[in-house]
């Protein structure tokens, strides 16, 4: 398969101030791309951009007009956006019965609506050029439901279904669509949640390398680590009762709720503050 040369390509990354987004930005810069990062945490975005040597702006992916402005400003500064990475996301951990409405709505707004807006805005700008690549970061939780993150799982299943559907719809546009399914990744989002042998954490750099390989090779679906692909396929083929039994046997049914409360509190309060912006 012919590989796409990333030199001087313009790559926009949402949620690029930290974690997986910052690692993706660093990897593309290293490959010679011109990178724009957008993040709701505008100060950290500026700091990260200064350290990496890229362009940055404040961005709330849940605000469609603001998202359009981000893409247009990035294009004015760097050139038309060739690759959009819809990475921004949040993961509050809570039993569903205790989850405030605001947490549910904010996850839907950022993890689902933000990805839909970004994809729609990217198609508007890329289709006239007949080329482009949209990468949507889902999660292993978008193929397997995990207790403690029911709303988050719903949002990631949505990203997977949405990306599959839009790829069919825009098949003749010249735009490539990729869904990425990382397992546990060592970032603030998963801080304090114990590792499981089946889902041992990997670094954000490993996810970034997989995203870059997907853009270079035009891959449609990427699991990180790769062995999660067959695991998800076998798991998905089981009847629902068998899936629940497997999760219980593996001790993975309530794993997310076994996190370190103090460490989780730091993340939850950061995400909670973002709810209010
Ligand atoms: P993170 O919390 O380290 O970074 C997420 C970034 O997104 C933050 O800088 C945050 O400020 C930004 N953000 C939040 N809301 C935003 C908004 N409305 N608009 C713009 N930016 C916003 O998290 P991460 O682990 O790097 O997660 C990145 C993506 O990877 C998310 O979509 C997440 O669901 C997914 N993911 C993470 C893991 C994991 O274990 N860390 C596993 C699978 C998938």
Each residue's pLDDT tens digit, 75-132: 999 999 999 999 999 999 999 999 999 999 999 999 999 999 999 999 999 999 999 9
pLDDT of residue 253: 75
Question: With bands split at pLDDT 50, 70 and 90, how would you rate the model's confidence at 1?
Answer: low
Say if ligand 1 is within 6 A of residue 190 CB.
Answer: yes
pLDDT of residue 98: 95
Residue 171 has pLDDT above 60, yes or no: yes
Strands 55-58 and 83-86: unpaired
User: What is the rounded distance in angstroms from the CA atom of residue 73 to the CA atom of residue 59?
Assistant: 11
CA of 90 to the centre of ligand 1 (A): 5
Which tokens in the block code for residue 134? Answer: 């949209």
User: What is the rounded distance in angstroms from the CA atom of residue 156 to the CA atom of residue 140?
Assistant: 8
Say if ligand 1 is within 6 A of residue 187 CB.
Answer: yes
Instruction: Say what the pTM is.
Output: 0.96
Say if ligand 1 is within 6 A of residue 232 CB.
Answer: no
Q: Comparing 1-5, 173-177, 272-276, which segment has the lowest mean pLDDT? A: 272-276
pLDDT of residue 15: 98
pLDDT of residue 165: 98
Question: With bands split at pLDDT 50, 70 and 90, how would you rate the model's confidence at 248?
Answer: confident
pLDDT of residue 118: 99
Residue 276 has pLDDT above 60, yes or no: no
Is 181 considered catalytic here? Answer: no
Residue in the block written with tokens 């080329």:
131
User: What is the rounded distance in angstroms from the CA atom of residue 126 to the CA atom of residue 198?
Assistant: 39
pLDDT of residue 250: 82
CA of 1 to the centre of ligand 1 (A): 31
CA of 177 to the centre of ligand 1 (A): 19
Q: Provide the 10 A C-beta neighbour count for residue 23.
A: 23
User: What is the rounded distance in angstroms from the CA atom of residue 184 to the CA atom of residue 32?
Assistant: 28
pLDDT of residue 187: 97
**Spatial CA neighbour of 247 closest among 200, 198, 191, 202:** 198
**Average pLDDT value for the chain:** 94
Determine the atom of ligand 1 nearest the C-alpha atom of 188: 3
Say if ligand 1 is within 6 A of residue 90 CB.
Answer: yes
Determine the atom of ligand 1 nearest the C-alpha atom of 15: 7
**Spatial CA neighbour of 224 closest among 180, 179, 190, 182:** 182
CA of 16 to the centre of ligand 1 (A): 8
Question: With bands split at pLDDT 50, 70 and 90, how would you rate the model's confidence at 277?
Answer: very low
Say if ligand 1 is within 6 A of residue 18 CB.
Answer: yes
CA of 19 to the centre of ligand 1 (A): 7
If one residue of 12, 13, 20 were mutated to test the ligand 1 pocket, choosing by the most ligand atoms within 8 A of its CB, it would be 20
* Span 205-241, pLDDT tens digits: 999 999 999 999 999 999 999 999 999 999 999 999 9
Say if ligand 1 is within 6 A of residue 82 CB.
Answer: no
pLDDT of residue 273: 62
């Amino acid at each position: 398969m012919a590989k796409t040369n990333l030199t001087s390509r313009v790559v926009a990354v949402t949620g690029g101030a930290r974690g997986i987004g910052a690692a993706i930005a660093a990897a593309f810069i290293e490959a010679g791309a011109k990178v724009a990062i957008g993040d709701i945490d505008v100060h950290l975005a500026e700091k990260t951009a200064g350290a990496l040597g890229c362009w940055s702006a404040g961005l709330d992916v849940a605000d469609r007009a603001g998202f359009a402005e981000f893409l247009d400003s990035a294009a004015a500064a760097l050139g038309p956006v060739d690759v959009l990475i819809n990475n921004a996301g949040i993961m509050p951990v809570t039993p569903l019965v205790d989850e405030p409405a605001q947490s549910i709505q904010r996850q839907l707004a950022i993890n689902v609506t933000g990805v839909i807006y970004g994809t729609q805005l990217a198609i508007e700008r890329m289709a006239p050029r007949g080329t482009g690549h949209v990468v949507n970061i889902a999660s292993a939780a978008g193929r397997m439901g995990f207790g403690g993150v029911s709303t988050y799982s719903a949002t990631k299943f949505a990203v997977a279904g949405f990306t599959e559907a839009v790829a069919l719809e825009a098949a003749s546009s010249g735009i490539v669509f990729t869904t990425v399914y990382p397992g546990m990744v060592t970032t603030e989002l998963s801080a304090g949640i114990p590792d499981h042998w089946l889902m041992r954490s990997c670094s954000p750099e490993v996810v970034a390398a997989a995203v870059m390989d997907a853009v270079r090779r035009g891959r449609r679906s990427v699991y990180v680590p790769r062995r999660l692909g067959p695991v998800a396929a076998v798991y998905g083929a089981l009847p629902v009762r068998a899936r629940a039994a497997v999760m219980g046997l593996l001790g993975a049914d309530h794993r997310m709720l076994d996190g370190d409360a103090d460490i989780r509190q730091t993340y939850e309060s950061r995400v909670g503050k973002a709810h209010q912006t």
